[in-house]
Amino acid sequence: MTGNEAKTKHRPDDVAPGDRPDDIAVAVRNYLTGFALAAALTVASFWIASGPSVVYGLGIPMALAALAVGQMGVHLVFFLHITSGSDNINNVLALAFGVLIVGIVILGSLWIMYHLNTNMMIPNAMMDMHSQQ
């Protein structure tokens, strides 16, 4: 083997978790690893949501949000095969664009609902206004 061949030859397990390896055993191991991580994060979410004895009561939503982000990361890497490799640039850009659009829709909806709520007339004021007429 020459020096160049030694540098380009990869071991079957020398791949990123999201890459699709040629060896079926490595692929199955990667899927099982992703499944185990996803199951562990799901169990942890239910355990935290079971009551304030596990996590401080006001910290439960933040803990669940952190576990949800971790769950999304596991799914993106292990099941959707999103990696930082050069062959996945289009996938990463499409994912970033999707996240941007969803963020704009959610933030815009919250903004609109907030302003509708603050500009809405109080029901007692409406009753007073009708009784004066």
Q: How far apart are CA 34 and CA 18, in angstroms?
A: 10
Same domain, 74 and 53: yes
Same domain, 108 and 77: no
Compute φ and ψ for 95, nearest 5 degrees: -65, -45
Dump pLDDT digits (tens) for 66-93: 999 999 999 998 988 888 777 788 888 8
Rounded to an integer, the average pLDDT of 93-104 is 93
Say whether pLDDT at 25 is over 90.
Answer: no
Same domain, 128 and 118: yes
The closest of 78, 95, 94, 93 to 27, measured between CA atoms, is 78
Alpha helices per DSSP H over the chain: 3-8, 24-49, 60-74, 89-119, 123-132
For residue 97 the two structure tokens come to 């664009």
Total domains in the fold of the chain: 2
Compute φ and ψ for 9, nearest 5 degrees: -75, 130
Same domain, 47 and 89: no
Q: How far apart are CA 12 and CA 25, in angstroms?
A: 9
Same domain, 69 and 19: yes
Same domain, 89 and 79: no
The closest of 30, 33, 51 to 41, measured between CA atoms, is 33
Structural domain harbouring 22: 1-83
Same domain, 77 and 110: no
Same domain, 10 and 70: yes
Same domain, 91 and 74: no
pTM above threshold 0.75? no
